[in-house]
């Protein structure tokens, strides 16, 4: 029996410069603790592949709310299915725009469905997929095209991350994972597709303590398990606080917009 429990520092120490790192960014399923560990590791020239590259406003960052932009200085390419730069609210947005214009940062956009399917294709060791999405747009440039049953398709390659950073609620020491609600999101498929997977969890139990029917990601897809310390800014209780802060910020922003639309009157 292999005990996969590790510290965050030891787990991310295996990540090399230039690695393709995939991570799920969606509410409670975001590997925030591992993101901070990656930042502290100093690894560079990363390709960050995520379903949701949304930058948080600077006022939220000061309260500990994190996003993939915290490792922007270590990133050379972003692959994302959804992005929100919030220029004027997030200073990292200006940095992204500047670096893209300078040619020091590449940004590859894709639909969420294609993001998932490319990971799925990588997990199944397939050569790629044909999709009609992007036909007749700039997306098809440089890609193979093929007509199948009278329909035009473009060929897209699989995504096989060097590293997958995922977040789950609970794990046993063999790496079997349990998720809660929407925290599942893209985490299971990232674990399956990645060559090296690190999972952060709030609780670690002994083998046999998890209900087999509740296990979503089998331990065979997980290489290291990291327990999030209770005093970490990314602990469960503090994450709830950060989510509430984000919701209040959005509500206040919408209120300001509504006032402006009505000439300052509500």
Tens-place pLDDT, residues 209-249? 999 999 999 999 999 999 999 888 777 777 777 778 778 87
Q: Is the predicted pLDDT of residue 164 greater than 80, yes or no?
A: yes
Going by pLDDT thresholds of 50, 70 and 90, the confidence category of residue 139 is confident
State the Cα angle at 176 between 67 and 207, rounded to 5°.
135
Confidence of residue 85 (pLDDT cuts 50, 70, 90): low
| pLDDT tier at 259, thresholds 50, 70, 90 | confident
Report yes or no: 199 and 12 within 8 Å, Cβ to Cβ. Answer: no
For residues 8-27, give the mean pLDDT.
Answer: 95
Q: How many CB atoms lie within 10 A of CB 242?
A: 18
Burial of 182 by CB count in 10 Å (0-12 exposed, 13-18 middle, 19+ buried)?
exposed
Nearest of 26, 81, 34, 3 to residue 197 by alpha carbon: 34
| Domain map (residue ranges) of the chain | 8-232
Give pTM, 2 decimals. 0.87
Per the DSSP assignment, residues forming a β-bridge with 21 are: 48, 163
* % pLDDT > 70, the chain: 96
CB 155 within 8 A of CB 126: no
Secondary structure percentages of the chain, helix, strand, coil, to 5: 35, 25, 40
Residue 66 or 6, more confident? 6
CATH number given to 8-232: 3.40.1080.10
């Amino acid at each position: 029996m292999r005990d996969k429990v590790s510290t965050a520092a030891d787990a991310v120490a295996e990540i090399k410069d230039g690695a393709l790192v995939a991570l799920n960014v969606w509410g409670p399923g975001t590997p925030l603790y591992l993101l901070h560990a990656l930042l502290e590791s100093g690894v560079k020239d990363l390709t960050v592949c995520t379903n949701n590259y949304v930058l948080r406003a600077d006022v939220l960052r000061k309260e500990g709310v994190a996003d993939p932009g915290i490792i922007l200085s270590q990133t050379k390419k972003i692959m994302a299915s959804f992005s929100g730069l919030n220029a004027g609210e997030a200073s990292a947005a200006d940095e992204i725009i500047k670096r893209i214009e300078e040619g020091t940062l590449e940004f590859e956009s894709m639909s969420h469905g294609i993001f998932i399917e490319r990971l799925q294709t990588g997990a199944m060791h397939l050569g790629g997929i044909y999709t009609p999405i992007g036909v007749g747009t700039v997306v098809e440039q440089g890609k193979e095209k093929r007509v199948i049953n009278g329909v035009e398709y473009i060929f897209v390659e699989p995504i096989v991350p060097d590293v997958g950073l995922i977040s789950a609620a609970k794990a046993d020491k063999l790496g079997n994972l349990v998720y809660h609600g929407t925290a599942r999101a893209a985490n299971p498929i990232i674990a399956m597709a990645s060559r090296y997977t690190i999972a952060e969890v709030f609780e670690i139990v002994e083998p046999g303590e998890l209900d087999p029917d509740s296990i979503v990601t089998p331990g065979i897809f997980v290489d290291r398990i990291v327990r999030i310390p209770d005093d970490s800014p990314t602990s469960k209780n503090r994450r709830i606080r950060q989510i509430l802060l984000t919701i209040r910020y959005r509500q206040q922003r919408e209120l300001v917009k509504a006032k402006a639309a009505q000439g300052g009157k509500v």
